[in-house]
Amino acid sequence: MSNTDKASITSRTASITKATDLPKPTRKTHKGLNISEEQLLELYESMYLQRRFEERSMQMYQKGKFGGFLHLYIGQEAVSTGSGFALNQDDDFITAYRDHGHGLVKGITPNEAMAELFGKKDGCSRGKGGSMHYFKPEKHFWGGHGIVGAHLPLAAGIAFANKYQENDRVTICFFGDGAVDQGALNESFNLAQLWKLPVIYVVENNGYSMGTAVHRHSAGKLADRAYPYGMKYDVVNGMDLFSVIDKVSEVAERVRETKEPYFLEVVTYRYRGHSMSDPANYRTKEELEEYKKIDPIERLKTYILDKKLASEKDLEAINEKVEEVVLEAVEFAENSDFPDEKELYQDVYADDDFPYLT
Amino acid sequence: MAQKQFREVIREAIREEMERDENVFIMGEEVAEYNGAYKATQGLLDQFGDKRVLDTPISELGFAGLGVGAAMNGLRPIVEFMTFNFALVGVDQIINNAAKIRYMSGGQVKIPIVFRGPNASAGQLGATHSTSFESFYAHFPGLITIHPSEPYDAKGLLKAAIRDDNPVIFLESEQMYGWKQEVPDEEYLLPIGKAKVKREGKDVTVVADGKMYHVAKKAAEELAKDGVEVELIDPRTIKPFDMKTVIESVKKTNRCVVVDESHPFGGVAAEVGFQIQRDAFDYLDAPVQRVTIPDVPAPFSRKLFDAWIPGPKQVIDAVNTVTYRK
Ligand SMILES: Cc1ncc(C[n+]2csc(CCOP(=O)(O)OP(=O)(O)O)c2C)c(N)n1
Ligand SMILES: [Mg+2]
């Protein structure tokens, strides 16, 4: 008998099981979802921008243009894009450290986003936050958060303030499957339900928390965490843009009206390693390939072409435009200055003349 | 003797202690199948199996507390935090439970546990990932805090920590895991709470812990070229702090600079400075100086980060101040 059989506490599954199971995509068409043809192309452009932005970031990172951690969102773009579309512009977004996609969707410009990666003063956090800590509150983007689970209570608070101010805004809070295991999730869920806060909690279940597959880190089904609090919940296909739009629209309407929270498990997949230093040896090539076959961008492209809503050439033109935007962002970031050294002591306190200790 | 990396000796210490005592086990995020986020636990799962090498969810509060409970009930857990920045999520378990239960139970409950993992900044990771905790943990009675700077010390002290019946905070460094030093092959332990004079000198005492020891060492080498002989002390353990060694040195050199990666307010440097003025006031030829990170969170930008993290230059400046050379 091996050590493993004797008294196994953490279950090691011998065979590689699929990291996550995708629910069926919606059967609704763009018309059924009230998406105009123009909007459809904008959605395509947005997803493609997120993808190319990150591919370029990766390249710049590998060239040594900037340091720190770089967590790529590639593969998950339907979630940020669909949510952004389903919600109003002044609805509030907050997410974890895999935040480039959400930030771009909420109106951080590619220039500001790239400059932040480079640590430059024109970055969306003025070079002080880096990849994991994007911010743009004027566009209702409340961050990029580096500590797993730490932003879930913040989302409850943002929703609390919206309700308090009777402004009808909805808050949406994204986090990874790993964050489901944090105490903060349970405390936030309880408060949000107890106080009836207009917040949508979205777990982007991409199958892994770093190198640990979901079934190895979380007991039961993720979505069921809402159940004991009497919170409404559902599971949706996150590789399909239309499914995300469909579900988040429905949920948003309900949350806006009832002022009660909702928990959505969005099943998705990340193509790259956890961060740049992770070779992702814990999963098979086959698994990755299987998800790439249902790539959200390719899927939308196929839909557009099949329905003859645009030609191959039209999409090519969008791609070229995006390519230019991204290259310009790189150039912008390169040319932006580093923050002045005196910036080190700015933004710690509200006062300009705070008496720092040395 | 062989050259060994910091991560290798951490692994050796854990392995030897797990071989020696069945009650020692290790848990943490990615420690088992992934072989450790920084590969400190490589191979341990294969050797000891998943009864004793456990991957945890990202539940620092949960597994820190579970460790404390297991320690109360007879085991000797080693809890790895992916970094100590993330331990903040579970810090109630460390401060209120691990540190205080022995006391509150009138000494009836013992808690032999080691919380270990990387501490302090590791380059441009932003403010949430760059905190140095030696001063923070040393503040609380009931905890031992160890902050080694070199593989030799790390191995001997980690083994001692695992055998110690107190809760121990053992602080490592992402940036130092690959650094090497000659380390004996045969088993050895080092006493907790003993500083080491790592360079002798007559002109000025410099006290520096963890990664800052290496910064101070570079400064000392520079200063030597300039004819200034630094006596460099690595406290190795922050609590209990070996003030005796420091005071003896200050009585000889009459000058002191303390270098530490904490913020200045109430940090290790503040404490050491206070004790020197109380216990060696008459020997001082200059006020004690300190070099710490500034009173601001870690910035991301390379340029700001370089201004934030102390380097040899700041240490040299401080030495020049206490020696009235500039
Ligand atoms: C409290 C805390 N513990 C550990 C970490 C280190 N860490 C960063 S991301 C991560 C995995 C998170 O996985 P998941 O929540 O599934 O998000 P994903 O990376 O898949 O987007 C870990 C362990 C952290 N940032 N914060
Ligand atoms: Mg995940």
The CATH number of residue B210's host domain is: 3.40.50.920
Report the chain A residue with the minimal C-alpha distance to residue B62: A183
pLDDT of A10 reads 58
Tell me: do B14 and B158 sit in the same domain: yes
Tell me: do B213 and B162 sit in the same domain: no
- Are B308 and A344 inside 8 Å of each other by CB? yes
Cα dihedral A346, A351, A352, A358 sign: negative
Task: Give the CATH number for residue B32.
Answer: 3.40.50.970
Find chain B residues with C-beta within 8 A of A132's C-beta: 125-126, 128-129
**Distance separating alpha carbons of residues A178 and A203, to the nearest angstrom:** 9
**Distance separating alpha carbons of residues A244 and A47, to the nearest angstrom:** 13
Please, what is the average pLDDT of chain A? 94
User: How much distance in Å is there from the Cα of A179 to the middle of ligand 1?
Assistant: 7
| Closest ligand by atom to B129 CA | 1
Which candidate, B146, B117, B154, places its Cα nearest to that of B40? B117
CB B30 within 8 A of CB A210: yes
Q: Is the pLDDT assigned to residue B313 strictly greater than 50?
A: yes
Pocket test of ligand 1: the residue of A77, A79, A185, A209 to mutate, having most ligand atoms within 8 Å of its CB, is A209
Q: Which two tokens stand for residue A236?
A: 């949706």
pLDDT of A358 reads 84
Tell me: do B36 and B125 sit in the same domain: yes
> What topology does CATH give the domain A31-287+313-345?
Rossmann fold (3.40.50)
Out of B127, B149, B183, pick the residue that ends a domain. Answer: B183
Tell me: do B21 and B77 sit in the same domain: yes
Using the structure block, give the residue that is written with the tokens 């689970």.
Answer: A149
Query: A240-255, pLDDT tens digit by residue?
Result: 999 999 999 999 999 9
Ordered DSSP codes for A267-303: E----S-SSTT---TTS-HHHHHHHHTT-HHHHHHHH
**Distance separating alpha carbons of residues B117 and B144, to the nearest angstrom:** 15
Residue B188 lies in a domain: no
Which candidate, B122, B123, B120, places its Cα nearest to that of B131? B120
Tell me: do B117 and B225 sit in the same domain: no
Confidence grade of residue B300 (pLDDT, cut at 50, 70, 90):
very high
Instruction: Compute the average pLDDT of residues A89-113.
Output: 98
Q: Is A179 on the interface with B (CB under 8 A)?
A: yes
pLDDT of B38 reads 97
Pocket test of ligand 1: the residue of B60, B63, B82, B85 to mutate, having most ligand atoms within 8 Å of its CB, is B82
Tell me: do B202 and B67 sit in the same domain: no
Please, what is the average pLDDT of chain B? 97
Confidence grade of residue A4 (pLDDT, cut at 50, 70, 90):
very low
CB atoms within 10 A of CB B227: 8
Q: Which residues line ligand 1 (CB under 6 A)?
A: A 98, 146-148, 176-179, 206, 208-210, 270, 274; B 29, 58, 60, 82, 86, 89
Query: A126-148, pLDDT tens digit by residue?
Result: 999 999 999 999 999 999 999 99
Ordered DSSP codes for A294-329: T-HHHHHHHHHHHTTSS-HHHHHHHHHHHHHHHHHH
Out of B183, B214, B234, pick the residue that ends a domain. Answer: B183
Instruction: Compute the average pLDDT of residues A142-160.
Output: 97
CB B154 within 8 A of CB B99: no
pLDDT of A296 reads 98
Percent of chain B scoring above 90 in pLDDT: 99
Helices (H), chain A: 3-6, 37-62, 77-86, 100-105, 110-117, 152-164, 183-194, 214-217, 241-258, 285-292, 296-306, 312-335
Phi, psi of A208 (to 5 degrees): -140, 145
Parent domain of B200: 196-322
Q: Which amino acid type is present at position A35?
A: I
What number does the ligand 1 atom closest to the CA of A275 have?
19
Out of B183, B215, B240, pick the residue that ends a domain. Answer: B183
**Distance separating alpha carbons of residues A263 and A231, to the nearest angstrom:** 7
Query: B192-225, pLDDT tens digit by residue?
Result: 999 999 999 999 999 999 999 999 999 999 999 9
Q: Is the pLDDT assigned to residue A13 strictly greater than 60?
A: no
**Nearest CA owner, ligand 1 atom 17:** A176
Tell me: do B147 and B286 sit in the same domain: no
pLDDT of A5 reads 43
Tell me: do B170 and B217 sit in the same domain: no
Residue B101 lies in a domain: yes
CB A86 within 8 A of CB A35: no
Tell me: do B118 and B19 sit in the same domain: yes
Tell me: do B205 and B318 sit in the same domain: yes
**pLDDT top residue among A6 and A101:** A101
Tell me: do B206 and B176 sit in the same domain: no
Which candidate, B249, B237, B247, places its Cα nearest to that of B195? B237
- The residue extents of the domains of chain A are 31-287+313-345
How many domains does chain B divide into?
Answer: 2
Tell me: do B172 and B130 sit in the same domain: yes
